[in-house]
Structure 1
Amino acid sequence: MNKEYTTWYHPYEPNPEYSKKVAYFSMEFGIHQSFNIYSGGLGFLAGSHMRSGYELKQNMIGVGMLWKYGYYDQARNEDQTLRTEFNEKHFDFLEDTGIEVEVKLHDNPYVKVRAYILKPEIFGTVPMYFLSTDVDGNDHLSRTITNHLYDRNPVTRVSQSIVLGIGGAKVVEALGGADTYHLNEGHALPAFYYLRDRGITKDQMVFTTHTPEKAGNEEREARHLNRCGFFGRTLSDDELQREMVNGGMINYTISALRMSRKANGVSKLHAKVANDMWKDYDGICDIIPITNAQNQKFWHDDKIKEAWINKDSNSYKARKLELKQELFLEVKKQTGKDFNPNVLTVVWARRFAAYKRADLLLHDFDRFKRLIHNQDRPIQIIWAGKPYPFDFDAINTFNHLVHNSKYEPNLAVLIGYEIDLSRKLKCGSDVWLNTPRITREASGTSGMTAAMNGSVNVSTNDGWIPEFEKDGENCFVLPALDYKMPIWDQDKLDTENLYKILEDRVIPTYYNQPDKWQDIVFTAMNDVIPEFTTYRMADDYYKKLF
């Protein structure tokens, strides 16, 4: 058996700046289109981090889950509405390490967890270990734990956390252990409980919180988790009492913040929001800002990059035209519509969650109709994204957009929003529309890679945007509203402000002042690189968190 399978191994000598051994736990990683085991932004972020860790020669490994059916595959019903499909995945580029550990789940103390390695030469990442319970010798239910990312069954979800956390920690032990254990969100929280009992100190545990959304900060009944094996052993009543909050609950985020030496939010604004969210709980560690970023080498189109470096607007425009045509071939393939590459093209594409407001433009439907039917200054709009497969409100929003775009020649709703389509949308759009309610988007990284490829951000002033924005110079930003205002009022004002920006500033600049538009495009690239690339971010994690 090769030593890289069973020992802490890198195909390079780690850079002395990054010599500390770090194990990075994440429920999802978005690394490459062919390895589709991710849901959205959390995975894209983690995947970019793993790529930059490799490029900077960091002494880090990734620990994730090998999802047999991935998240889900998007398809269409007969009327073009969304259909969710669960198709088995096969990844021949993964190799069995031979490392197999056991975890206790519920009343079964011998659930086997097998580790598979993604070697660095495959996609240019640090070594990554993916865990599966689909192992000979496990009973049927145990084998299904690693079937679906974010399984809808709450008991299975708890089991997934135990497999990633405790199973992952045992795999890291088998590799020789780590100096620092990092949880990318709270899903792998059982790792901290297990490691604490093994003598791993608070100084060795760090945590990243990614969202202020309640659903993203899991909270479950403490006694139930104790029965499930969540803590690595059965806690006594007194021990369990010390872990409880909110009347007998375990909040994954609070527990992780209490056990960590330090934690981080994923933008400066989010760190403020997170510190305020959790300040009333005892024992919370400091939450510092380390703003999310994306891997430039992976996402930045080479010809766009060359044109930007040389400040060659003609080369940029020629390449942008090619990229728009590539995107519009996808539009034609999916919808039969023939988009015009000379027309201003707006894209809204990300996870479909209510606070992100995919349908904000439709809130003033009369104005929406006037916008899309304006023949003097035409516009094309594309929506894409993935609702959670059992979030029927989000699926209804997706379908609402499908119905309203079906018979409009300049509107399209695309399926298959994964890495390849994301790249086409970012490269082929003129405007990247981002409409979350303020303070609800912790970071939001899609606009970073859009800016790298010449798509101008039009956004509410949330997440990473306050650190980037120069309104009218590198993007267009909606006036900030009081986030405590009723949601209906926020949506109404944001809709009015969005239309005002589009009608009075964005569209006239694109059509009447092409030189100014080009300046905005290049200024945005200047401002997003290197500040919002994962070279900066991966360096920050080592120097500020690890």
Structure 2
Amino acid sequence: SAAFYLMNKFKSVEKVKEHLVFTTHTPEEAGNEKHDIYLCQKMSYFCGISIDEVRRLTGITDDLFNHSLAALRFARKANGVSRLHGEVSRKMWSHYSGICEIIHITNAQNWRYWADKQLYKAMEEGNDLAFDDRKNYLKKRAFEIVADQTGKLFDSNALTIVWARRFAGYKRADFLTQDLVRFEKLINSIDKPVQFIWAGKPYPVDYPAISQFNNLVHLSKNYKNVAVLIGYELTLSKRLKQAADVWLNNPRVPREASGTSGMTAAMNGAVNFSTDDGWIPEFVNHGNNGFVVPKADYENLSVHDQDNYDLNKMYEILEQQIVPLYYKNFETWRQIMKNGMRDVRFQFDSNRMAHEYYDLMYK
């Protein structure tokens, strides 16, 4: 709508371009809105410009008005929200003419707000005793919320895996539970116990996501060390990042535009374990500051085969690398935590992002 407002004001596409840039936020079909062009006009979306003129200006000939497409034709420059998303966006829009250049500026998070400063202080002082003590305290404190909501008593010394974010189909919340045999083997281990926490919210009318959430709640009732928490807002989000030893992220590549929860998790000493999507290719160095599922040729895999490949790889990495490392070689595990904390701090702090938006887009 801003584009049409400017069009009304300047009466020239060239002039509009001088004043307009566009950030595309998602490769998801549902996130790139299309509405009936007559409804848009009825609601004054086009600021008094006639439908014929709108069609001439935007090149949209059918009755569905594609908002993102119009924005890409009116802007002088656009950006995706991670390097990978920039590539995906260029490919996605390449068969349309008259599109502006699409660069990328990777999303970031505010370190001052999210990071646990005491954990960073212990790391900077090289005080491993204080570092371990602090992380253990953070886990204990978060587990009070688990006990409050579910009545389950989690162990602050056990490896804790957390999946917490918006529930959306492509993010595959219940992914690891799709192989129940391996899932149970993981959580029923006596000498290397693993605890799972899920949290997050589905959109109100996203029924598949709502049933996914409900299924996880029912599943969790069978185990003393699996919990699903409600009320996922900023406070719980921070507590769960502090509770996590492993921050689990398994979207279907390449559908996650950026994803930033793993950034704030790393700022609280959680180790990222993810499929290679969104911001992750710019961050994770496998086995050094996190763990990542090696990319397959996803282009030529069916969704079913992609899910099978990812699931198998995730269990391999969990069973053979993550769990043994945490329990048998904690020195190395601690170093991976610290590497993640260090690497996330400057490259993915919001100051860097704000500067890039100014320098690359707005100036």
- More displaced stretch, 495-504 vs 475-484: 475-484
Q: Does 1:521 align with 2:349?
A: no
Residues in 2 aligned to 1:246 and 1:380: alpha-carbon distance in whole angstroms: 54
Q: Number of paired residues?
A: 357
Residues in 2 aligned to 1:510 and 1:396: alpha-carbon distance in whole angstroms: 33
Displacement of 1:196 in angstroms is: 2.1
Residues in 1 aligned to 2:224 and 2:16: alpha-carbon distance in whole angstroms: 60
Aligned amino acid, residue 198 of structure 1: K
Match of 2:249 in 1: 434
Match of 2:296 in 1: 481
Residues in 1 aligned to 2:47 and 2:349: alpha-carbon distance in whole angstroms: 37
Match of 1:496 in 2: 312
More helix by share: 2
TM-score by length of 2: 0.96
Displacement of 1:268 in angstroms is: 0.5
The alignment-based identity, stated in percent, is 49
Match of 1:23 in 2: none
Match of 2:361 in 1: 545
Which of 274, 282, 302 in structure 1 is aligned with 2:89? Answer: 274
TM-score by length of 1: 0.64
Which of 344, 365, 371 in structure 1 is aligned with 2:180? Answer: 365
How do 1:3-402 residues align onto structure 2 when only pairs under 5 Å count? Answer: 190-199=1-10, 201-243=16-58, 245=60, 247-402=62-217
Displacement of 1:245 in angstroms is: 3.2
Displacement of 1:246 in angstroms is: 6.7
More strand by share: 1
Match of 1:465 in 2: 280
Aligned amino acid, residue 373 of structure 1: N
Please provide the CA RMSD for this pair. Answer: 1.2
Displacement of 1:337 in angstroms is: 0.3
Any conservation in 2 of the 1:346–1:429 contact (CA below 8 Å)? yes
Any conservation in 1 of the 2:265–2:271 contact (CA below 8 Å)? yes
Match of 1:506 in 2: 322
Residues in 1 aligned to 2:176 and 2:190: alpha-carbon distance in whole angstroms: 18
Aligned amino acid, residue 6 of structure 2: L
Structure 1's 310 and 219: CA in aligned 2 closer, same or farther, altered over 3 A?
same
Please, which runs of 5 or more residues in structure 2 have no aligned partner? Answer: none
Q: Deviations over 1:116-173 (max 9, x none)?
A: xxxxxxxxxxxxxxxxxxxxxxxxxxxxxxxxxxxxxxxxxxxxxxxxxxxxxxxxxx
Residues in 1 aligned to 2:18 and 2:53: alpha-carbon distance in whole angstroms: 25
Match of 2:346 in 1: 530
Residues in 2 aligned to 1:308 and 1:261: alpha-carbon distance in whole angstroms: 44
Please, which runs of 5 or more residues in structure 1 have no aligned partner? Answer: 1-189
SS at match of 1:503: helix
Displacement of 1:290 in angstroms is: 0.4
Aligned amino acid, residue 284 of structure 1: I
Return the structure number with greater relative CO, CA threshold 8 A, min gap 6: 2
Displacement of 1:243 in angstroms is: 2.7
Displacement of 1:413 in angstroms is: 0.3
Residues in 2 aligned to 1:534 and 1:525: alpha-carbon distance in whole angstroms: 15
Displacement of 1:191 in angstroms is: 1.6
Displacement of 1:236 in angstroms is: 4.1
